[in-house]
């Protein structure tokens, strides 16, 4: 259970250190803080079965809040940058009974919380302890109840090709299995220091950088946000031995290295890359510049993050491959659900105790996603003779912007709320830094410019979801049966640009 993480480390060893002048807490101090927060949540009327959302920036507050909320009920971390409409949707969809926010700011989250959502403020006191306070309660005080392995610890959303993101419930057993898998893959020990540069409302930063480190009694260093200007000084100051990030972050660090090995890189045992494809040339450039192996991994929310990874030296790490299954069974299936031989492209599918049992309240998605006990990831790929997996494309139509998975249908529907838009189709276009960027094609029924439509999207969508280019067309390409295929629209746009 998540509670066990607080007992894994040497009580006097630093568990969490907030970079940039923030507090550091030992395992003993973190355990005491979380126990106090659990009591406060119980006193506020929250307990087993309650969904406790949080919209907090990276730092001790979000880690302590997650640990406490997952033990009391179910934690539901949300992106603090969401708009009011997005907060309203996610709070309602998860059935959140409470929302944990900072004591100042968070205006969009505050405004979105309905009367039945208890606002709880998380604040660091002068002693570096996280405290909860609230002007109200969610009901009568509840008694403390330890969670069972199959209780849901975390609920996250994953965007699909439909307009409604799917709810992914992850149990304590799912998370602990994944944390163990990550720690064993990279031979983490209590001597390791993880630099967490990924947002902690994502499974990548939460499980790989944080829970896997706590699982082995190591130290997690958390900057408030990724900053390339201070990155290497944080590595040096805190003695970081590894970090995990999306390729976008690796590329930013690489571009600033100016041909010299950054001071502090010699401390790293390895670099991990996940959540988007790492170009083989980028892998080679990073290893040459930083002098440290970079290991590409493959994860997704439904698997509580990690499914496969390239191994540490001296075992082979293969450029363009996401490695071998990490205590997770991986198969490539055909449409009928039968396993395909090595070298044959099909749908990547997985089994394992880290894999969730199904989407919440979505029988249709579950029927499509599970086949003979395998969870079908929606990704296409193939296994080689040594069991290394190579991904060749996504069956699902998600746009992957620097690791952020964006549902194009959500942007379609936002554009269609503009009175001048008759048709809208969103798709991904190649981007040098982010891998993909959001674009859209529209057919107008009134007067509007590209800048008008982008501004309209910004009213309802977080910045990372907003199109950077909108193409105004006479008509949207369709198949012979009248269906719209995003890849055909994207191809038509690209062909027009190249003409």
Amino acid 483: pLDDT: 52
Report the 10 Å Cβ neighbour count for 164. Answer: 16
Q: Which CATH superfamily is domain 2-294 in?
A: ANL, N-terminal domain (3.40.50.12780)
Amino acid 480: pLDDT: 38
- Whether 399-498 and 2-294 are alike in CATH topology: the answer is no
Could you give the CA distance from residue 156 to residue 76 in angstroms, rounded to a whole number?
6
Q: How far apart are the first and last CA of the chain?
A: 58
Amino acid 317: pLDDT: 96
255: left (phi over 0), alpha (psi -120 to 50) or beta: alpha
3-state secondary structure of 308: strand
CATH architecture for the domain at 399-498: 2-Layer Sandwich (3.30)
Length of the chain in terms of residues written: 499
Residue ranges per domain, the chain?
Answer: 2-294, 399-498
Could you give the CA distance from residue 118 to residue 463 in angstroms, rounded to a whole number?
27
- In this structure, are residues 401 and 435 in contact, taking their beta carbons and an 8 Å threshold? yes
Amino acid 46: pLDDT: 97
CA distances from 295 to 310, 406, 488 (A): 5, 25, 34
Q: Which two tokens stand for residue 374?
A: 């395998």
pTM of the predicted model as reported, rounded to 2 decimal places: 0.84
HEC secondary structure over 330-375: EEEECCCCCECCCCCCEEEEEECCCCCCCCCCCHHHHHHHEECCEE
State the residue for tokens 């979380």.
34
Tens digit of each residue's pLDDT, the chain (499 residues): 787 888 877 999 999 999 998 999 999 999 999 999 999 999 999 999 999 999 999 999 999 999 999 999 999 999 999 999 999 999 999 999 999 999 999 999 999 998 889 999 999 998 889 999 999 998 999 988 889 999 999 999 985 444 478 999 999 999 999 999 999 999 999 999 999 999 999 999 999 999 999 999 999 999 999 999 999 999 999 999 999 999 889 988 998 887 789 999 999 999 999 988 888 888 998 999 999 999 999 999 999 999 999 999 999 999 999 999 999 999 999 989 999 999 998 999 999 999 999 999 999 999 999 999 999 999 889 999 999 999 876 666 778 888 887 877 788 888 988 999 888 889 998 888 888 899 999 989 899 999 999 999 999 999 999 999 999 998 888 653 345 667 778 888 876 665 5
- Pairing between strand 96-101 and 51-54? parallel
Amino acid 422: pLDDT: 82
Q: Which two tokens stand for residue 272?
A: 């991990």
Q: Dihedral, CA atoms, 352, 243, 157, 164, nearest 10 degrees?
A: -110
Q: Which two tokens stand for residue 138?
A: 């969610």
Q: Is 281 exposed, middle or buried (0-12, 13-18, 19+ CB in 10 A)?
A: exposed
Which residues, 6 or more positions from 346, have their beta carbon under 8 angstroms from its beta carbon?
332, 333, 334, 340, 380, 381, 382
CA triple 236-240-245, angle to 5 deg: 115
């Amino acid at each position: 259970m998540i509670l066990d993480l607080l007992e894994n480390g040497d009580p006097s060893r630093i568990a969490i250190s907030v970079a940039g002048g923030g507090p550091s807490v030992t395992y003993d101090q973190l355990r005491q803080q979380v126990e106090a927060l659990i009591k406060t949540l119980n006193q506020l009327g929250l307990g087993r079965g309650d969904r406790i959302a949080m919209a907090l920036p990276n730092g001790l507050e979000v880690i302590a809040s997650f640990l406490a909320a997952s033990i009391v009920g179910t934690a539901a971390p949300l992106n603090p940058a969401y708009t009011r409409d997005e907060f309203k949707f996610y709070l309602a969809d998860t059935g959140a009974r409470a929302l944990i926010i900072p004591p100042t700011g968070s205006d969009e989250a505050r405004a979105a919380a309905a009367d039945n959502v208890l606002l709880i403020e998380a604040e660091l006191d002068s002693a570096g302890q996280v405290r909860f306070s609230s002007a109200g309660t969610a009901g009568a005080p509840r008694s403390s109840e330890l969670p069972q392995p199959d209780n849901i610890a975390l609920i996250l959303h994953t965007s699909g090709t439909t307009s409604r993101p799917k709810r992914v419930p992850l149990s304590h057993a799912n998370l602990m299995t994944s944390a163990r898998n990550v720690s064993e893959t990279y031979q983490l020990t209590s001597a390791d220091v993880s630099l967490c540069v990924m947002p902690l409302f994502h499974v990548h930063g939460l499980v790989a950088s944080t829970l896997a480190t706590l699982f082995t009694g190591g130290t997690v260093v958390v900057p408030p946000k990724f900053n390339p200007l201070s990155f290497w000084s944080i590595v040096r100051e805190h003695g970081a031995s590894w970090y995990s990030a999306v390729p976008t972050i690796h590329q930013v660090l690489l571009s600033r290295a100016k041909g010299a090995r950054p001071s502090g890189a010699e401390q790293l045992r390895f670099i991990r890359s996940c959540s988007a494809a790492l170009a083989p040339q980028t892998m080679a450039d990073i290893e040459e510049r930083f002098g440290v192996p970079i290991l590409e991994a493959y994860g997704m929310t439904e698997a509580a993050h990690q499914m496969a990874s390239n191994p540490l030296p001296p075992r082979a790490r293969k450029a363009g491959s996401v490695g071998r299954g990490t205590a997770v069974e991986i198969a490539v299936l055909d449409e009928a659900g039968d396993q395909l031989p090595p070298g044959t492209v099909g749908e990547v599918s997985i089994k394992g105790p880290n894999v969730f049992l199904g989407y919440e309240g979505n029988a249709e998605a579950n029927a499509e996603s599970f086949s003979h006990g395998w969870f079908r990831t929606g990704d296409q790929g193939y296994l080689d003779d040594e069991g290394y997996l190579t991904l060749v494309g996504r069956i699902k139509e998600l746009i992957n912007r620097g690791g952020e998975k964006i549902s194009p249908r959500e942007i379609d529907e936002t554009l269609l709320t503009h009175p001048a838009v008759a048709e809208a189709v969103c798709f991904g276009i190649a981007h040098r830094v982010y891998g993909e960027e959001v674009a859209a094609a529209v057919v107008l029924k009134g007067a509007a410019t590209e800048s008008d439509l982008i501004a309209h999207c910004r009213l309802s969508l977080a910045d990372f979801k907003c199109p950077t280019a909108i193409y105004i067309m006479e008509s949207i390409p369709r198949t012979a049966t009248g269906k719209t295929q995003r890849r055909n629209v994207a191809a038509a746009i690209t062909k027009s640009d190249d003409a």
